[in-house]
Amino acid sequence: MATYDLIVIGAGPVGENVADRAAQGGLSVAVVEQELVGGSCSFWACIPSKALLRSANALQHAHSVDGAKQAITGELDVPATLARRNWFVNDWQDGGDVDWLESVGIDLYRGHGRITGERRVLVNGSDGPSELEARHAVAVCTGSASLIPDIPGMVDARPWTNREATSAQHAPSSLAIFGGGAVAAELATAYAGFGTTVTVLARSGMLGRMEPFAGEAVERGLRALGVDIRTPVAVVGVERLADGVHLSLGDGTTIIAEELLVGAGRVPRTGDLGLESVGIKGGDWLDVDETLRVKGHDWLYAVGDANNRVLQTHQGKYQARAAGDVIAARAKGQHVDDLPWGTHVATADHAAVPHVVFSDPQVAVVGLTADQARKAGKRVRVVDYDLSSVSGAELHADGYAGQARMVVDEDREVVLGVTLVGREVAELLHAATIAVVGEVPIHRLWHAVPAFPTMSELWLRLLEGFGRPGPAIATTAR
């Protein structure tokens, strides 16, 4: 039996970061990985999906700038785009990440990890089993998998999940996508760019959890790419036949596509983890406290997708930094900084999560929508601005279209949330995130001067829309 201070199960982006922080804190760490070190994000999610859509995106953007568009004489090179994606995922080889683990002194155990008791993990590897014991903690960072909807015939139809869609070596002639969230929007954009006939089947519109204008703009963008969007729609049966996948819809019609992609939610990968051995039901998301510790188990942590707080890599890595540090602090008997916004908690998970949907137009959001803020009991003022009126946007592309919304807490005069829609708005998001996390008062934001002519001038317009706070407010707030 090998003993470590910390055992991390799952070496996705989150597990890697938990391990790294704990090792930097002086702990001995083992990570257990059953597939590729780097996890879904590197090989079957964030990176390949963006690589798949970027080339067509760049071409479309060039088409919208007079002078550049006249220079475009050809079509998208699909094999070259797929080869570029292959390069980004290193042909699904994880040597770089494995070398990095070694370089920072973290031991890797390849195989399926299963908890066999308190602080004990059994790894079933190709070289036989290894028994590990943790002196201080075990961190479950096993991520999530695609939800396969419970629709008659769905499983037998062998639908694509994000794994097949991001690793495909050719573009199918037609693709039906079940779902209306970010995964559906991005992969519809990618495959439409390849010339695939794409049909999106969304139960209730696109990007339903965001400001309504965001989903509407994405729907318009997808339609402009030739995507057929059916919403609201019910899929009542699925069957794979010789000519493709047949989807029976609630209205009695049928859609036939070469492939079907399911992109309508995620399920936890906690089903085969031996959690029952420590009194936890397997197969569910793991419920954690603010320091990412599984409630009721002082040695067990769940970080990243596995805890279902926010299913995003950057947020999982943020949790991982807190978790790795707090595991090291507790192991050494040091002070735990677990007050809101402290070092050892993931406070931003609740009201300051940034999220970009890389569709065309992009959607970039942070914090609360107007509706969410009102439901949270805030007195809210909404400021909308047409992004196409900002000089930086006009210069960026001819006929630039975009929209921005700032949600302000009227009582405290701080920004609660921002939604941006338009080309390249992703790069505007971090300023909004800082405003939300820092709770920067509006009167101080007036002094953050955006350079001219950048798209960031949007901030000036939003502040003008809100109105300059009067001297009385400014004086007392200072």
Ligand X SMILES: Cc1cc2nc3c(=O)[nH]c(=O)nc-3n(C[C@H](O)[C@H](O)[C@H](O)COP(=O)(O)OP(=O)(O)OC[C@H]3O[C@@H](n4cnc5c(N)ncnc54)[C@H](O)[C@@H]3O)c2cc1C
- The correct pick among 54, 314, 350, 374 for binding ligand X (CB under 6 A) is 314
- The correct pick among 6, 8, 113, 385 for binding ligand X (CB under 6 A) is 113
Least distance CB 174 / ligand X (angstroms): 20
Question: By C-beta, is 44 or 400 nearer to ligand X?
Answer: 44
- The correct pick among 4, 10, 122, 260 for binding ligand X (CB under 6 A) is 10
When asked if residue 40 is in the footprint of ligand X (CB under 6 A), the reply is: yes
- The correct pick among 53, 89, 139, 183 for binding ligand X (CB under 6 A) is 183
Question: By C-beta, is 39 or 441 nearer to ligand X?
Answer: 39
- The correct pick among 28, 106, 119, 143 for binding ligand X (CB under 6 A) is 143
- The correct pick among 7, 29, 46, 302 for binding ligand X (CB under 6 A) is 46
Burial 445-465 (b: 16+ CB within 10 A, else e): bbeeebeeebbbbbbbbbbee
When asked if residue 141 is in the footprint of ligand X (CB under 6 A), the reply is: yes
3-state helix, strand, coil split of the chain in percent (to 5) is: 35, 25, 35
Question: By C-beta, is 17 or 199 nearer to ligand X?
Answer: 17
Q: How many CA atoms are closer than 13 Å to the CA of 369, on its beta-carbon side?
A: 13
* DSSP reduced 3-state for 160: strand
When asked if residue 259 is in the footprint of ligand X (CB under 6 A), the reply is: no
When asked if residue 363 is in the footprint of ligand X (CB under 6 A), the reply is: no
When asked if residue 469 is in the footprint of ligand X (CB under 6 A), the reply is: no
The angle subtended at Cα 230 by Cα 244 and Cα 76, nearest 5°, is: 65
CA–CA gap between residue 236 and residue 381 (Å, rounded): 42
What is the largest distance, in Å, between two alpha-carbon atoms of the chain? 73
Residues with Cβ within 8 Å of residue 392, at least 6 apart in sequence:
452, 453, 454, 455, 456, 457
- The correct pick among 304, 324, 392, 469 for binding ligand X (CB under 6 A) is 304
Report the amino acid identity of residue 317.
Answer: K
CA dihedral 86, 89, 92, 96 (to 10 degrees): 130
Site string for ligand X, 262-291 (x = CB under 6 A): -------x---x------------------
Integer Rg of the chain from CA: 24
List of residues contacting ligand X (CB under 6 A): 9-15, 32-35, 39-41, 45-46, 49, 112-113, 141-143, 162, 183, 269, 273, 304-306, 311-314, 316
